[in-house]
Amino acid sequence: MPRYIQPQIRPAFIEKAVRANWFLMKMVALFAVAVELFNMARVLFMTSARLSTLNNRIYFSFYASLFAAALLFLAVDLLLGRRLGQAARYRVCLAAGSAFVLWHVLFAVYDINRSISIGKISAVTSLVAFAALFIMEPLYAVLNLALGYGIMLGFLSTLGDPNAVLNYAIVALLSLIIYFVRLHDIRTELEQAAELAQANRDLEHTRERLRQEQKNRIRQLEQELTMDAFTRTLNRTALENYGQRRLGELEPGAQLVMLILDMDDFKAINDTYGHQAGDHVLARLGELMNELAPPRCRVGRLGGDEFAAILDPPGAADAAAGYAVRLIDAVRRIDWEGRPMPAACSIGIAAAAGGAAYDSLYAAADKALYEAKRQGKGRYCFAP
């Protein structure tokens, strides 16, 4: 049997001990107050000698001391019980338990000296009850039981009654067996509770990890549904949904601006340099549109070599013009394996007020794009 309470279950053991011992000592104290009050009254008013004899004075002192100790415990419970911390309540219980054992042993020794049969019953009952009911750590239990039975056995050995000594030694061992069997049950219960709590924590951790993985996967899937994987811009559907939503959210007087970019003579790049070079140009264009985008701007690929951007107010029209100039200049500088490319683009820009249809905004920007191409390409135009 282990001689200690493992650190991982010690807090739970102390909590259980305080909960059980405090209630037990409270009941014992209430019982002691009633019984010892009766015993003191009996000495004072029901015996002819009262306190005139040494024997009555000793008995009265025993009764009064237990009565006072019980009242003290009840006062602590009433005035400080809820304010004391767990460790302090545990120490109070241990002190009360030791006082209980010592009082009963000393009383039994004196009682045996006066009335052998009564003293034996009182001592055995109190020490067995202490071992069976009080929740305590092994060292504390062994020390208190050893002290109690040691005093009893030492006194009994002076009476020349070897049978009484043997019987008390057997009861002492029985008390220890009772205590350790109960301790084993308590430790097993607490260990199982700790294992269950750890399993629940592990389960919750696993659940949280799975929830996080699920959230990450959902975000990944949502991103895959809204992004053009090749250029890392929004796809056509996502950009259209965003434009429709923002047109419905605009405040009165505000305008949403749409920019449509189309590469000029892109087929010539594919035919001359190959589709790998053309893919490089499109991928680089997607990067440039994201890198050069002003704040509150969403970039998307409409398909092929056609891209678009939606700019939020305020100042969306001016921001779109500056954005278009930067894009046209940057596209001209795209190269392929260190060689310059004949890359160029044209841009159409249109604006719409809140409540307008997205299709109308798109059509206006598309019309402005083809006006830019009609004027010679490599430039931008605003829709009327």
CB–CB of 360/352 below 8 Å? Answer: yes
- Short-list 248, 250, 229, CA closest to 358: 248
- Provide the 10 A C-beta neighbour count for residue 247: 21
pLDDT, one tens digit per residue, over 77-124 is 999 988 999 999 999 999 999 999 999 999 988 888 876 555 567 778
For residue 118, what pLDDT is reported? Answer: 53
Give, in order, the Cα–Cα distances in Å from 349 to each of 27, 44, 261, 290, 353: 88, 111, 9, 17, 14
DSSP 3-state of 170: helix
Side chain identity, residue 185: D
Query: Looking up tokens 């911390």, which residue turns up?
Result: 85
* CATH architecture of the domain with residue range 233-382: 2-Layer Sandwich (3.30)
For residue 116, what pLDDT is reported? Answer: 55
DSSP 3-state of 347: strand
DSSP 247-305: HHHPPTT-EEEEEEEEESSHHHHHHHH-HHHHHHHHHHHHHHHHHHPPSSEEEEEEETT
Contacts of 15 (CB under 8 A, 6+ apart): 86
Q: Where are the domains of the chain?
A: 10-199, 233-382
pTM here? 0.59
DSSP 3-state of 122: helix
pLDDT, one tens digit per residue, over 261-297 is 999 999 999 999 999 999 999 999 999 999 999 999 9
Give, in order, the Cα–Cα distances in Å from 127 to each of 19, 108, 167: 21, 11, 14
- Short-list 313, 329, 307, 330, CA closest to 259: 307
Low-confidence ranges of the chain (pLDDT < 70): 1-3, 115-120, 220-224
Counting Cβ atoms within 10 Å, is residue 244 exposed (0-12), middle (13-18) or buried (19+)? middle
Residues making up the chain, counted from first to last: 384
For residue 126, what pLDDT is reported? Answer: 87
Question: Number of H helices and number of E strands within the chain?
Answer: 11, 9
Q: CA-to-CA distance for 266 and 278, rounded, in angstroms?
A: 8
CB–CB of 378/344 below 8 Å? Answer: yes
Give the HSE-up count for residue 228: Cα atoms under 13 Å, Cβ half-sphere: 27
- Provide the 10 A C-beta neighbour count for residue 41: 11
